[in-house]
C-alpha cells in the first residue's frame, strides 16, 4: 500500500500562512491525495483532495508536486481554531475501502 | 440530515462483557467503516462495508464483529471486552468507495474496559 510521511508537529503564528508537507513517493497514478483534520475531542473532518492539479476550497489549498511524490496543504491565514491534527492519506484502487490514517501532523497555532 | 450518528458517546465495561456500538447514517451512503483511536495515535481501521450484506476486515479486526443488514446501520460488536479495547471508536461513511469520495465521521464513542 502506498504510504505517506508527515512531520509529527508544526507551529504557526496566528494570521500567518501555514504549509503542511506530505511525502508519498510510492503513489500510483490513480491515487487521490486527501487531507483530513481532527480537532480536539472530535472526529476527523474532510479538508480537501486532489489528483494532479492544485485545488482550492474555502478551507485550504492543496499544492501537488508535478511528479506527485509530495503535496502541501496550505492554510492561508491560520486561526486558533485551525489547531488540530492534519492527516494526509492516499485513496486509490490499491486500497479500495481501506483508507489508512497515519499519525498526522499536530499543528499548534500561537496567538 | 443528521449525518453519521454514533451511540453511546461514553461507555464503561468490565472485562468479558459484550456490547454493541451503534452507527447510523442518513445520507444513503454505500460505504461505512469503523476506526479506533488510541491516545496519541492515528486512526486504525477495524472493519468496513461497501454495501448491505458485504463486510471486510481492516487493519485490526480481532475481537470485533460487524454486520450490515441495512444501508443505514453498521453496528460494531465486542463479544468479550478486553482492556486492550479501551479506545475511542469512530464510524465513518461515504457515498461510494470511489477514490475521490470524502469520508464523513461520527463524533465518536469513548469506551473504557476495566
The answer to whether the beta carbons of residues A22 and A67 sit under 8 Å apart is no
Binary contact (B102, A34; C-beta < 8 A): yes
Residues in chain B within 8 Å Cβ distance of A36: 103
Cα separation, A51 vs B21, in Å, equals: 35
The predicted model gives B12-19 an average pLDDT of 97
Option in B42, B48, B97 nearest A104 (CB): B42
- Residue A39: what pLDDT? 94
Band the pLDDT of A23: cuts 50, 70, 90.
Answer: very high
Distances in Å between the Cα of A64 and the Cα atoms of A4, B40, B61, B100 are 14, 28, 34, 15
Burial class (CB in 10 A: 0-12, 13-18, 19+), B19: middle
Q: Do B100 and A103 touch (CB under 8 A)?
A: no
SS3 at position A3: coil
pLDDT-based confidence at residue A99 (cuts at 50, 70, 90) = confident
Higher confidence at residue B75 or residue B59? B75
What is the C-alpha to C-alpha distance for residues B49 and A43, in angstroms, rounded to an integer? 19
Using an 8 Å CB-CB cutoff, list chain B residues near A85. Answer: 42
pLDDT in the model for residue A100: 81
CB atoms within 10 A of CB A80: 11
Contact call for B43 and A101, based on CB within 8 A: yes
Q: Which triple of cell numbers denotes residue B8?
A: 453511546
Structure confidence at residue B40 (pLDDT)? 80
- Mean per-residue pLDDT for B88-109? 91
Which band of pLDDT confidence, cut at 50, 70 and 90, is reported for residue A17? very high
- Enclosing H/E stretch for B6: strand B4-7
Closest in B50, B102, B108 to A97, CB measured: B50
pLDDT of residue B41: 83
Is A106:A49 a contact under the CB 8 Å cutoff? no
Q: Report pLDDT for A91.
A: 87
Q: Are B6 and B107 in contact (CB under 8 A)?
A: yes
- Chain A residues 51-70 within an 8 A CB cutoff of chain B: 51
Mean pLDDT in residue range B19-45: 93
pLDDT for the residue numbered A2: 62
| pLDDT at position B49 over 80 | yes
Mean pLDDT (whole number) for A55-79: 96
Cell readout for B59 is 487493519
What is the average pLDDT score of chain B? 94
Amino acid at each position: 500500500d502506498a504510504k505517506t510521511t508527515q512531520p509529527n508537529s508544526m507551529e504557526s503564528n496566528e494570521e500567518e500562512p501555514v504549509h503542511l508537507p506530505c511525502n508519498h513517493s510510492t503513489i500510483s497514478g490513480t491515487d487521490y491525495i486527501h487531507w483530513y483534520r481532527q480537532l480536539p475531542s472530535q472526529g476527523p473532518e474532510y479538508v480537501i483532495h486532489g489528483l494532479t492539479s492544485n485545488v482550492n476550497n474555502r478551507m485550504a489549498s492543496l499544492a501537488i508536486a508535478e511528479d506527485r511524490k509530495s503535496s502541501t496543504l496550505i492554510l492561508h491565514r491560520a486561526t486558533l481554531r485551525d489547531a488540530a491534527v492534519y492527516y494526509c492519506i492516499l485513496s486509490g484502487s490499491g486500497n479500495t475501502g481501506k483508507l489508512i490514517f497515519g499519525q498526522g501532523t499536530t499543528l499548534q497555532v500561537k496567538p | 440530515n443528521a449525518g453519521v450518528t454514533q451511540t453511546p458517546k461514553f461507555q464503561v465495561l468490565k472485562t468479558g462483557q459484550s456490547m454493541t456500538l451503534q452507527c447510523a447514517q442518513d445520507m444513503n451512503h454505500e460505504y461505512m467503516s469503523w476506526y479506533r483511536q488510541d491516545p496519541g495515535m492515528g486512526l486504525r481501521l477495524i472493519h468496513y462495508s461497501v454495501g448491505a450484506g458485504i463486510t471486510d476486515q481492516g487493519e485490526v479486526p480481532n475481537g470485533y464483529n460487524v454486520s450490515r443488514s441495512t444501508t443505514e446501520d453498521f453496528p460494531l460488536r465486542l463479544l468479550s471486552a478486553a482492556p486492550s479495547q479501551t479506545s475511542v471508536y469512530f464510524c465513518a461513511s461515504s457515498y461510494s468507495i470511489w477514490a475521490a469520495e470524502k469520508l464523513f465521521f461520527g463524533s465518536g464513542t469513548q469506551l473504557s474496559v476495566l
